[in-house]
Amino acid sequence: MLQIDDMRKEDLEQVSTMEAACFSMPWSKKSFEENLNRSDAVYVVARDGDKVLGYCGAYVILNEADINQVAVEPLHRKKGVGGKMLAVLLEKLRKAGADAVTLEVRKSNEAAIALYESMGFVTEGIRKKFYEKPVEDALIMWKR
């Protein structure tokens, strides 16, 4: 049964393993642990029992939030996990005072872009050569 709740220290091993599998320049377990202790950070995980299926997080700065991580385990993609997880994150960000949310996404990541657009995000700019390994532009998306 899918549950979405706050990321906990016990989740970090699975989160960092998934991060390494999903991204060419992954965050370390220590980076996630440090973010769990930040007062301006909001992180959630999607889980089925003890298994983490996905995670996402953001920083809240005044009335804006910057989503910095979104990942779903490859076997659980296109099953609604990302949308449910992001919906919970967006509600937590709203309650934290954010009335605008931004994120960057690889220009080639059509599945993620479609998910973000379905949740009301709009492309408002491009960061040239933002990503490395491989070098690629990022779309800057906002939900206001």
116 carries an active-site annotation: yes
Indicate which residue of 19, 43, 73, 104 is catalytic: 104
Tokens of 142: 């906002």
Q: Please say whether the beta carbons of 86 and 72 come within 8 A.
A: no
**Of 75, 86, 76, which Cα lies nearest the Cα of 115?**
86
Within 10 Å of residue 63's Cβ, how many Cβ atoms?
10
59 carries an active-site annotation: no
Indicate which residue of 43, 55, 73, 116 is catalytic: 116
Distance in angstroms (rounded) separating the CA atoms of residues 42 and 83: 17
> Any idea what DSSP says for residue 45?
E
Strand residue runs (E) in 19-135: 41-48, 51-61, 64-72, 100-106, 122-131
Interstrand relation of 2-6 and 64-72 (parallel, antiparallel or unpaired): unpaired
> Annotated active-site positions, please?
104, 116
